[in-house]
Structure 1
Amino acid sequence: MTRKNIVITGASSGLGKGMAIEFAKMGRNLGLCARRVERLEELKAELLTINPNIDVFIRPLDVDDHAQVFEVIKAFAADMGGLDRVIVNAGMGKGASVGTGYFHANKQTAVTNFVSALAQCEASMEIFREQNAGHLVTISSVSAVRGARRAMTVYAATKAALTSMTEGIRIDVMNTPIKVTTIHPGFIQSEINEKVKTVPFIVDTETGCKAMVKAIEKEANSSFVPTWPWALFRYIARIAPLSVLAKMS
């Protein structure tokens, strides 16, 4: 089925923006939210240039303001006459090795990537349960497969938690019309990794977002994208010794 009305959080840049562009090309109506409203306004203009036949709604949202999360997602449902898909995309990658004095940064990543993702899932699923229809999509990461060191330690942990939580939601509604998908992107160029110097198998934002949207449209339970090498990586990473993992992060 065609999911006509789609909400994307964290849509002002990076993967959120890239997915919005791909969905606009496909003729989908979009509800876009992020903290940087001026970027959303620029993106809205760009999307309507790409496809003037779609509706684009924008709203400011700091996902760490959990009451606001519920308000904004409900408002998008009212704007669009119902929601067909919500993509829980907002996240961050701040952090450092545990015990090195950066608890504030690690805590911020933990809250934004998991607790705030929970708020987005709760708000979306309330609407989907009421409609008895909808597609919840969470954007996890290939790093969810195993633990990682240094700045990736807490980030990987939050993505593993997000993957597990999404699976639990999927089990909860598996015999209903509601679909639940987890997307695990590999290394895709975005603001979250622009300062990282050496990244293996990285692809540009457009290539990565096209792969993500293709996977989302399939509505599979879980996808690793781009398929090469990340579909294979997940199996190798699960059995790799810690010495190998140390070289990978």
Structure 2
Amino acid sequence: MTIRQNILITGASSGLGKGMAIEFAKQGCNLALCARRLDLLEALQAELLVVNPKIKVFIRPLDVNDHDGVFEVFDRFKQDLGKLDRVVVNAGMGKGASIGTGFFNANKQTAITNFVSALAQCEAAMAIFRAQNSGHLVTISSISAVRGFRRAMTVYAATKAGLTSMTEGIRMDVMNTPIKVTCVHPGFIRSEINEKVEKVPFIVDTDVGCRAMVNAINKEKAVAYVPRWPWSLLHWVMRIAPASSIRKMS
């Protein structure tokens, strides 16, 4: 397994980003963390240095919808650490409602944040990796990428399907090079995006889900569904299940 010492995570101030940062800190990785809320990043930085005082933790505020800012912050993190070994494209959101019900702006915001801004992050990361001729790009998609979903999930699922497809294209582009590309599809993991949802099948706590995500990332396989049970099997079932069954999941 390749050792990835210097890891950049976007959307790191809470939820899955924070959980992954904690797990990587336990493993002795240096971290470059960015998110919109600097106060939460500062608190996380202090927490991580308690978890592992031997690591370096750099933080910067970043709204990934500021696409020029994405390139600038990634480059500055590279200067901080000397090299970026892994970039985790994690920042995202889940606003939205059924199409045609008056929530176009919310749906548009999710579409831009989860896809166009993910593209900006991938572009910035891959430019650095190509110059280094090494690195590991990780995109955080979703189990919802495998099918369409209704209501608030409609645009969210579509953006994650787009992210999965884009990640596969990037991987094909650098196949057989020292640059590796992984797309992680979390199942239902408790986080800020779904904290108000009461009944979700197979949902796990944030720490359990994040440990599974980090384990999958470290294996550097092309595609991962986590936690492995039940999603490594269930994603195949979801692909062929009738729409009426998928409808009940959202």
Alignment TM-score > 0.5, same fold: yes
User: Corresponding residue for 1:71?
Assistant: 72
Matched with 1:222 is 223
Structure 1 residue 166: Cα displacement: 0.1
Which position in structure 2 is the counterpart of 1:93? 94
The answer to whether residue 121 in structure 2 is matched with residue 120 in structure 1 is yes
Match of 1:231 in 2: 232
Give the whole-Å Cα distance in 1 for the aligned partners of 2:249 and 2:47.
37
Shift of 1:14: 0.2
Question: Which stretches in structure 2 are left out of the alignment for 5+ residues?
Answer: none
* TM-superposition CA deviations, 1:141-162 (whole Å, max 9, x none): 0000000000000000000000
- Secondary structure of 1:248's partner? coil
The one-character-per-residue Cα deviations of 1:9-66 (angstroms, maximum 9, x if unpaired) are: 0000000000000000000000000000000000000000010000000000000000
1:140 matched to 2:141? The reply is yes
Mapped to 1, the partners of 2:52 and 2:176 lie a distance apart of 36
Give the corresponding residue for 1:108: 109
1:50 matched residue in structure 2? 51
SS in 1 for 2:96: coil
Distance 2:233 2:249 in 1: 15
The corresponding residue for 1:37 is 38
Q: How many equivalent residue pairs?
A: 249
* 1:201 corresponding residue in structure 2: 202
Q: What secondary structure sits across from 2:137 in the alignment?
A: strand
Q: Match for 1:191: what amino acid?
A: E
CA distance in 2, matches of 1:7, 1:31: 4
Distance 2:121 2:193 in 1: 20
Q: Does 1:84 align with 2:81?
A: no
Deviation at 1:238, TM superposition (A): 0.7
1:5-44, aligned counterparts within 5 Å? 5-44=6-45
Give 1:247 shift. Answer: 1.1
Deviating 4+ runs (over 2 angstroms): none
What residue identity is the alignment partner of 2:29? Answer: R
Q: Distance in 1 between matches of 2:94 and 2:174?
A: 30
Shift of 1:245: 1.2
Deviation at 1:241, TM superposition (A): 1.1
1: CA distance, partners of 2:71 / 2:185:
25
Residue in structure 1 matched with residue 162 of structure 2 by the alignment? 161
Q: 2:60 corresponds to which residue?
A: 59
Alignment-mate amino acid for residue 166 of structure 2: M
Q: TM-score, normalised by structure 2?
A: 0.99
How far has the Cα of 1:248 moved from its partner? Answer: 1.6
User: Is 2:186 the partner of 1:185?
Assistant: yes
Q: Which sections of structure 1, spanning at least 5 residues, go unmatched?
A: none
Query: How many angstroms does 1:98 deviate by?
Result: 0.3
CA RMSD of aligned residues (A): 0.4
Aligned partner of residue 114 in structure 1, secondary structure: helix
Q: CA deviation at 1:243?
A: 1.1
> How far apart are 1:77 and its partner, in Å?
0.4
Partner letter of residue 88 of structure 2? I
- Percent identity over the alignment is 74
Instruction: Give the whole-Å Cα distance in 1 for the aligned partners of 2:180 and 2:21.
Output: 20
